[in-house]
Amino acid sequence: MKYSLLKSYLNHDEAADIRKRLFIIALPAIGENVLQMLLGIADTAFLGHYDWRAIGGVGTANQIIFILQAVLVAISTGTMVFISNSLGANNKRKVNSIAWQAIYLSLITGLGLATLSIFSGNFIDIFFPSAEDLIKQIGVDYLKIVLAGIPGLSFMIIIASTLRGAGDTRSPMYAALIANGLNVFLDYGMIFGKFGFPELGAKGAAYATVTSRTVASIILLMLLYTNKRIHMSKKPVKSSWKSVREVFSVGLPTAFENFSFSFGVLIFANILLMAGSEAYAAHRIGINVESISFMPAWGINVAVMALIGYYNGSGDLKKVIGTARQGWLVGLGFGAVIGTVIFLWPEGFIRIFTSEKGIIDMAALPVKLIGLFQVVLATDFVATGALRGLGDTKFPMFASMTAMWFIRIPLGFVLVKYFNLGLLGAWTGMMADMAYRMAFKVLRFLSGAWEKRAKKVREEAAYNK
């Protein structure tokens, strides 16, 4: 291996400065992710206490939304990489151009995805043929509303990534704070029929989600225009196919990765449905607890990606490696603490989503497994952020796709179908997937095989300075 995470490439002061920068960027990102995740968790928690079957219905709809938003992931990833690298290269003209292209692409993709709402019933029937009729109907109702309002999500995801590329994670956090407060209020009111709202159940959760995301997107656009590092021109710039191609050259592999992963998760959900609706509900609760658990790792991922992109743009590879190492050490610390808490007190997390005794007992197993794998998750997030910051997005895509389709799905299917292991069998496949992805990404980074791609991105970021 050319590099090592066990070796310090920075002196004491440099390492301390990197850690400080990581925390400055990561902590608001963690706060934002906590709040963003609560948009979904609030839906699940309220619906779980309204009718546990609604968890499954909304879960099916969200799996489809994750697949359809793959193009948003492409744009947001490519935008963040080129914003950070262009800032490192001190190319203000490029930064301004990329920011404007992000706005244009947010609008186009959001409106395009919204037209798919008319096919909501078809999506549910195709991807969840074995689901119970009631769960299907709930999924259709929720999906139709959320897809119609997806332009808000489009702007929210892409503009937030534009700001993160500039190291500004506070603005997305403030927008998420306001949106989340609104979502919780509307969730409670519209699901249960409080505060003068009609009782709408899952439809109410969908309306609340769309409204809060739209508000967040408006706030983020205002904050983007006033960001001092990006310095957007008041007059819109012309569409730049060159900038768009550069964004997609980096972002498309991540989009394919997310599409493949989300589609795989959907197939995996059908494996869980083979074990029964209660097992699937317990699985969805486990997934939501997992989402809570990796928030710190996601924040470190954002910080590592932004800082490594900046240092790559400036040509300082020593700090690129040093940032990855410091991010890994910080991630391990968070992972160890969170994993211990989750493993020892799983029921406290499960009761956020349901009070059904049978489901609580079933969900304890996946939640404990999540606790055990926190260090693996943290390492994977740091390695992914490092490679993406350098523009090396194809390898994480390859690692994720092979892990999903050659490990998680076949192993989970065999253990559920032929060994009748239910949740244990399915989650054994998941944990094997996580370990594989983590190991392959770490080896890729340590090998230095990313250097050629990083150089190309650096040169593109500095072009026409």
89-98: per-residue pLDDT in tens?
999 999 999 9
| Residue located via tokens 């990581």 | 22
Q: Over pLDDT 90: what percentage of the chain?
A: 62
Measuring CA to CA, which residue among 385, 388, 380 is closest to residue 453? Answer: 388
- pTM here is 0.86
Residue 348 has, within 13 A of its CA and on its CB side, a CA count of: 6
Measuring CA to CA, which residue among 156, 141, 116 is closest to residue 60? Answer: 141
Measuring CA to CA, which residue among 5, 59, 112 is closest to residue 445? Answer: 5
**pLDDT at res. 277:** 76
**pLDDT at res. 40:** 64
Per-residue pLDDT reduced to its tens digit, 425-446? 999 999 999 999 999 999 999 9
| Residue located via tokens 């963690």 | 30
Measuring CA to CA, which residue among 264, 333, 363 is closest to residue 55? Answer: 363
Q: How confident is the model at residue 66 (pLDDT cuts 50, 70, 90)?
A: confident
* Top-confidence residue, 277 or 141: 141
The number of beta carbons lying within 10 Å of the beta carbon of residue 391 is 29
The number of beta carbons lying within 10 Å of the beta carbon of residue 37 is 18
Which of 209-213, 254-258, 290-294 bottoms out in mean pLDDT, i.e. has the lowest?
Answer: 290-294
Per-residue pLDDT reduced to its tens digit, 386-423? 999 999 999 999 999 999 999 999 999 999 999 988 88
Measuring CA to CA, which residue among 116, 170, 181 is closest to residue 147? Answer: 116
Separation CA 59–CA 284 (nearest Å) = 7
Contacts of 79 (CB under 8 A, 6+ apart): 98, 99, 101, 102, 158, 161, 162, 165, 247, 251
Separation CA 128–CA 64 (nearest Å) = 10
Residue 57 has, within 13 A of its CA and on its CB side, a CA count of: 28
Please state the rounded mean pLDDT for residues 202-208.
90
Measuring CA to CA, which residue among 98, 32, 114 is closest to residue 239? Answer: 98
Q: How far apart are the first and last CA of the chain?
A: 35
Supply the mean pLDDT for the chain.
90
Measuring CA to CA, which residue among 422, 127, 63, 126 is closest to residue 262? Answer: 63
Whether pLDDT at 78 is above 80: yes
Separation CA 319–CA 371 (nearest Å) = 32
Record the tokens describing residue 464, joined without a space: 């026409």
Whether pLDDT at 424 is above 80: yes
Q: What is the 3-state secondary structure (H, E, C) of 158-218?
A: HHHHHHHHCCCCHHHHHHHHHHHHHHHHHHHHHHHCCCCCCCCCHHHHHHHHHHHHHHHHH
**pLDDT at res. 464:** 66
Q: How confident is the model at residue 465 (pLDDT cuts 50, 70, 90)?
A: low
Please state the rounded mean pLDDT for residues 223-233.
92
* Top-confidence residue, 60 or 369: 369
Contacts of 418 (CB under 8 A, 6+ apart): none
| Residue located via tokens 């944990």 | 431
* Top-confidence residue, 402 or 45: 402
| Residue located via tokens 């989300």 | 262
Separation CA 440–CA 380 (nearest Å) = 9
Sign of the four-CA dihedral 94, 95, 98, 100: negative
Separation CA 4–CA 168 (nearest Å) = 29
Per-residue pLDDT reduced to its tens digit, 360-380? 888 999 999 999 999 999 999
Please state the rounded mean pLDDT for residues 48-72.
82
Q: What is the 3-state secondary structure (H, E, C) of 93-104?
A: HHHHHHHHHHHH
Per-residue pLDDT reduced to its tens digit, 259-284? 888 788 878 988 888 887 788 888 88
Give the DSSP letter of residue 1: -
Measuring CA to CA, which residue among 308, 368, 287, 372 is closest to residue 335? Answer: 372
Whether pLDDT at 169 is above 90: yes
Sign of the four-CA dihedral 328, 333, 336, 340: negative
Q: How confident is the model at residue 41 (pLDDT cuts 50, 70, 90)?
A: low
Cβ proximity of 61 and 139 under 8 Å:
yes
Whether pLDDT at 183 is above 80: yes
Record the tokens describing residue 465, joined without a space: 């300075």
Cβ proximity of 210 and 152 under 8 Å:
yes
Please state the rounded mean pLDDT for residues 70-89.
94
As to burial, measured by CB atoms within 10 angstroms (0-12 exposed, 13-18 middle, 19+ buried), residue 344 is exposed
Whether pLDDT at 131 is above 80: no
Separation CA 11–CA 19 (nearest Å) = 12
Q: How confident is the model at residue 39 (pLDDT cuts 50, 70, 90)?
A: low
| Helix residue ranges per DSSP H, 274-373 | 277-293, 295-313, 317-344, 346-350, 357-372
Record the tokens describing residue 417, joined without a space: 């179908």
Which of 190-194, 288-292, 403-407 bottoms out in mean pLDDT, i.e. has the lowest?
Answer: 288-292
